[in-house]
Amino acid sequence: MERESWGGKMGFWLAAAGSAIGLGNIWRFPYLTGANGGAAFVFIYLLIVLTIGFSVMLAEFAIGRHTNLNAVGAFQKLKGGPWQIAGWMGVLAGFVILSFYSVIGGWTIKYILSSFTGMISTSTNSTDYFLNFIANGPQTVLYHAIFMAITIFVVYRGVGKGIEDTCKILMPALFAILVILIIRAVTLPGALAGIDFYLNPDFSKITGKTILAALGQAFFSLSLGMGCMITYGSYIKSKKDSLPKAAAIITLLDTSAAFLAGFVIFPTVFAFGAEPGAGPGLTFITLPKVFALMPGGQVWSALFFLLLCVAALTSAISLLEVVVAYAIDNLKWPRHKAAIGIGGVIFLLGVPSALSQGAVSLNILGMSFLDLLDFISNNILLTVGGLLISLFVGWVIPDIAKKETTSHGPFAFQTIWLWICRVVAPVAIFIIILGGFGLF
């Protein structure tokens, strides 16, 4: 049977942007920024994205389009041996990340519905509301199941009819909702203090931990380091389409989405005197408080959580597709079996994460099960994966890499990119990981 592919360039761009733009942009980026001192964190994040992030994304696209294979198959075909480990780590990361990602995806569905049933009201304590909900085992597992079922359904339908068509509708919708919310946020009285916090850097807040957090966030947000962009790149048919251009567009879209999400959250939070450094609860606890004080708050709340849900869905699809593509290419499973079977296992793996938020006590190394998986996957699996991919392209397959990226762009482009892959990115990632763990 012929391998599936994207219908066209636009479909690929939107699907890849759909993968990149997710909870990482709208939930994680603003709370990390808030907790790490605002603009200084944003500055370091941007620096990492434009150098390392863009380069690793292009590396993944090149590997993917050249081999037309999933993450594991691609490394096997190009070199084999220990390099396969990079592919395996990617498949593992797909399992792990989606298991907890879907739990939070479930929370967003619950919050869309709850916007209309009393959650958004000045007499509701949003902290208690959130804590009660995430401690309610049956409910969190139910919403996790619903979110996972939708994800499986899209992947089951395949690359063109499922993933591409879904993203073609949802991505424009997402940007439309984002724009509406920004207009509302920046026109609130008192919004300026939020914009100031967001754009005025305080470099004294930067530590080794902050930089590791920015690196982990860059990989997570751009869907890098785990073969996701290898997989999506493997469905590109045309050898003529420019991969540097695609990587630039997707990096730009993802970064603008994160940056714009900050313009919804910080002006809103400051306008109503809430705390920007509230951590993971920023979205689920602080914003409902703020919505309760806004005229029409229920509708704004529902719209915001719909935005979050849509973003999460198009990313979850790509996480599942990494594992499904492996099962189809390497194990010769039919797509429907792969989507349902693997999706089912990931659902089960997510249940402890869903329950770890208060329903049962499940703390390891001082973190809840969900936080632990999040920590391991972002700070270790993705960063080490990114390091390996970058070394691989720079040193093992530079000729293939050059062939896949011939462009009419500036002459020095390829050379700079290859040296970033060979030296700059690996060394930076290595140092940042060690520094983040306090090792020097």
Query: What is the smallest separation between the CB atom of 253 and ligand PHE, expressed in angstroms?
Result: 12
Contact present, 191 and 185 (Cβ < 8 Å)? yes
Output 99 or 318, the one with its CB closest to ligand PHE: 318
Among 15, 25, 34, 133, binds ligand PHE (CB under 6 A): 25
Burial class (CB in 10 A: 0-12, 13-18, 19+), 420: buried
Q: How many CA atoms lie within 13 A of 434 on its CB side?
A: 7
Query: What is the smallest separation between the CB atom of 128 and ligand PHE, expressed in angstroms?
Result: 27
Contact present, 9 and 238 (Cβ < 8 Å)? yes
Q: Which of residues 348-377 bind ligand PHE (CB under 6 A)?
A: none
Query: What is the smallest separation between the CB atom of 97 and ligand PHE, expressed in angstroms?
Result: 6
Among 315, 353, 357, 405, binds ligand PHE (CB under 6 A): 315
- Residue whose entry in the numeric block shows the structure tokens 């509230």: 278
Q: Does 221 bind ligand PHE (CB under 6 A)?
A: yes
Q: Does 418 bind ligand PHE (CB under 6 A)?
A: no
- Residue whose entry in the numeric block shows the structure tokens 């999706």: 343
Among 20, 69, 212, 306, binds ligand PHE (CB under 6 A): 20
Among 223, 268, 368, 383, binds ligand PHE (CB under 6 A): 223
Contact present, 72 and 326 (Cβ < 8 Å)? yes
Cα–Cα distance, 322 to 306 (Å, whole number): 25
- Write the DSSP symbol of residue 2: P
Cα 400 to Cα 40, 125, 166, 391, 395, distances in angstroms: 38, 57, 32, 14, 11
Which sign, positive or negative, has the C-alpha torsion 376, 377, 378, 380?
Answer: positive
DSSP-assigned beta bridge partners for residue 364: 367
Please state the φ and ψ torsions of residue 179, each to the nearest 5 degrees: -65, -45
Among 226, 247, 253, 306, binds ligand PHE (CB under 6 A): 226
Q: Does 319 bind ligand PHE (CB under 6 A)?
A: yes
Using the rule CB under 6 A, give the single segment among 15-23, 102-110, 184-192, 323-331 that binds ligand PHE: 15-23
In a 3-state reduction of DSSP, which class is residue 405?
coil
Query: What is the smallest separation between the CB atom of 218 and ligand PHE, expressed in angstroms?
Result: 10
Query: What is the smallest separation between the CB atom of 223 and ligand PHE, expressed in angstroms?
Result: 4
Cα–Cα distance, 429 to 84 (Å, whole number): 20
Among 18, 24, 30, 106, binds ligand PHE (CB under 6 A): 24
Contact present, 166 and 19 (Cβ < 8 Å)? no
Query: What is the smallest separation between the CB atom of 24 and ligand PHE, expressed in angstroms?
Result: 2
Q: Does 220 bind ligand PHE (CB under 6 A)?
A: yes
Q: Does 49 bind ligand PHE (CB under 6 A)?
A: no
Output 11 or 227, the one with its CB closest to ligand PHE: 227
Query: What is the smallest separation between the CB atom of 293 and ligand PHE, expressed in angstroms?
Result: 28
Q: Does 23 bind ligand PHE (CB under 6 A)?
A: yes
Binding mask 93-112 for ligand PHE (x = CB under 6 A): ----x---------------
Q: Let me know the angle formed at the C-alpha of 221 by 400 and 376, rounded to the nearest 5 degrees.
A: 95
Cα–Cα distance, 325 to 338 (Å, whole number): 8
Binding site for ligand PHE (CB under 6 A): 19-20, 22-25, 97, 220-221, 223, 226, 228, 315, 318-319
